[in-house]
Amino acid sequence: MSEIPTTTVSDVADDAVVIDVRETNEWVAGHAPSAIHIPLGDLPARLDDLPDTDAGPVAVVCRSGGRSGRAVAWLAQQGFDVVNLEGGMKAWHAAGKPLAGGDGSVIL
């Protein structure tokens, strides 16, 4: 198995488009402002909803990095240029990055 490409919160702009693969209740509690919500289980059916990765890699995020790591491995096999956001939304929130939506209670 090849290494999953990753990026850190500090390398992702506050307004970057990211793919959030968390469940709906987690998304509602708070998400990156420009995120696209596609729960992990919906990815295969929603490939047309993914942002264009021709201009460079797009970060994929979940709560802590596990689900997004699986998503990145699968999406990379499909030809998408994606990276796993290390630490997930927990790291995003801890770094003081902006949140849209709820109060972040599910993230913490």
pLDDT digits (tens, 9 = 90+) for 65-94: 999 999 999 999 999 999 999 999 999 999
Q: What number of H helices and E strands is found in the chain?
A: 3, 5
In 16-38, which positions are buried (b, 16+ CB within 10 angstroms) versus exposed (e)?
bbbbbbbbeebbebbbbeebbbb
**CA 26 and chain centroid, separation:** 12
- In order of start, what are the domains of the chain with their CATH numbers? 6-94 (3.40.250.10)
State whether residue 24 is helix, strand or coil.
Answer: helix
> Is residue 62 among the annotated active site residues?
yes
Q: How many angstroms separate the Cα of 91 from the Cα of each of 6, 16, 74, 87, 96?
A: 13, 15, 23, 5, 9
pLDDT digits (tens, 9 = 90+) for 33-67: 999 999 999 999 999 999 988 889 999 999 999 99
Catalytic residue among 35, 62, 72, 107: 62
